[in-house]
Amino acid sequence: MQKSKQKSKRLERIKIMNFKVARLLPYNKMMDQVKSIDIAKIGNVREDFSYDMDEWEKGEGCYRHLIEFLPRLASFYSNLAKETQNLLWFNDAANTFEVVLGGDGAPFGKQDTACSWLCSFLNRGKHILSSNESFLILGANCHEDSLVVQRYVKFLLNEISHIEKQTFNVDGVDIKFRFSEFPNDLKMLALLAGELPVSA
């Protein structure tokens, strides 16, 4: 009888102010759940853009393939819009998502610098260009004007030209993507234009 009482006490959930506290999820079960999430193909910056560089020049990081990521993001927002009705279509171009891409780098602790590229949609309504609506498509520990980023930008331009020519079927609806804005600082714009920035 004593043992069963002890067991039942252990199985009881902790209460704080009459609210039950959620049970802790063991790490191995949590990782099984995390690994089961399909996040599409993730590329390796070191393997794909640093292949012939000296060891100290190579960048570490990951990037997403836009051709897989954008339809997933459009599906997410389309399903969300069924409930909230807050997608905007510009110039009567229904089912055309206006894509925004931007990159920037900054000093970052021991790794010296970090560079990231973000993606968002202008169709999102009240959260236009909000930090809550931007998604990471590249994260790497390299300078924003390094050879690694230059190679990534070339790869990105190929993806952009390919994506804009295609129509994607997302949840039974044909959608298109148009790349509308590239909100970058002057140094990144100089890089994209093939010019030397003032800081050089």
Q: Write out the two tokens for 195.
A: 């010019």
The pLDDT of residue 129? 57
Copy the structure tokens of residue 78.
């389309």
Q: How much is the pLDDT for 1?
A: 47
What is the structure's pLDDT at 131? 67
Alpha-carbon distance of 100 to 42, in angstroms, equals 20
CA pair distance 75, 81, nearest whole angstrom: 10
User: What string of pLDDT tens digits covers the 200 residues of the chain?
Assistant: 445 455 555 556 677 777 777 777 788 888 888 888 777 788 999 999 988 888 888 888 999 999 999 999 999 888 887 766 678 888 878 889 999 888 887 776 555 788 889 998 888 766 555 667 888 999 998 888 788 888 998 999 999 999 999 999 998 999 999 998 887 777 777 777 777 766 65
CA distance 174 to 81: 16
Which residues, 6 or more positions from 141, have their beta carbon under 8 angstroms from its beta carbon? 59, 60, 61, 108, 111, 112, 113, 114, 115
How far apart CA 97 and CA 170 sit, in angstroms, is: 12
Domain boundaries, the chain: 52-193
Report the alpha-carbon distance of residue 174 to residue 160 in Å, rounded: 18
Nearest to 159 by CA among 51, 95, 61, 63: 63
Confidence (pTM): 0.74
